Amino acid sequence: MQVKTDTRAPLKQQDKSGKNGRVLVLGLGNLLLKDEGVGVHIAAELQKHDLPANVEVIDGGTAGLDVLLSEGELDKLVVVDAIRFGKKPGTIYKLRFKGKEENKLARVFGPDSKAKISLHQLGLIDALAAAEKLNCLPKEIVIIGIEPNQISPGLELTEQVKQKIPKIVNTVLEEIKDAIHTK
């Protein structure tokens, strides 16, 4: 598995309008806890694809949200992680937030919510709040999650989650394509 560990912001790619058009796909999770590692597995699959130069895929592991602050200005942030909404294991979720809607994000995933973005949810909310204060909040945030079946010690994804990998990868690729074609 190829893992990107260099989190320095790459050179900005500019489109004809002078915007940087940068897209960051951040796969989060803990590979030691079965379905909790789904975001990292998705990042590894995406790194096998020939992606445009303005798209960066990072295996954020369990501390990946700190990467957001080191990435600088982004047009789109796509976070892939396990999310517990209480639906059938393997259910895929897609949530979209425009910049400055991190308060909405906090309402959806805050401490009083039933929804949980695995172990990273407070880090995400904190990182987005810090990004807003530093004036580097992504213009659009998309969270693609999958309902885990098991979050317990083990290195393999459960069958319910593993069989959804191609669909999740395609969902992320569509988000990347949308970001490129809307420029």
End-to-end Cα separation, the chain, in angstroms: 32
**Percent of the residues in the chain that have a pLDDT greater than 70, as a whole number:** 61
48/134: higher pLDDT: 48
User: Is 144 in contact with 78 (CB distance < 8 Å)?
Assistant: yes
Q: So what's the pLDDT on residue 9? A: 41
What pLDDT, in 10s, does the model give residues 56-86? 999 887 765 566 666 667 889 999 999 988 8
**Percent of the residues in the chain that have a pLDDT greater than 90, as a whole number:** 44
Q: So what's the pLDDT on residue 153? A: 96
What pLDDT, in 10s, does the model give residues 16-52? 443 448 899 999 889 999 999 999 999 999 999 999 9
**Residue 169 phi, psi (nearest 5):** -60, -45
Domains of the chain: 23-181 (3.40.50.1450)
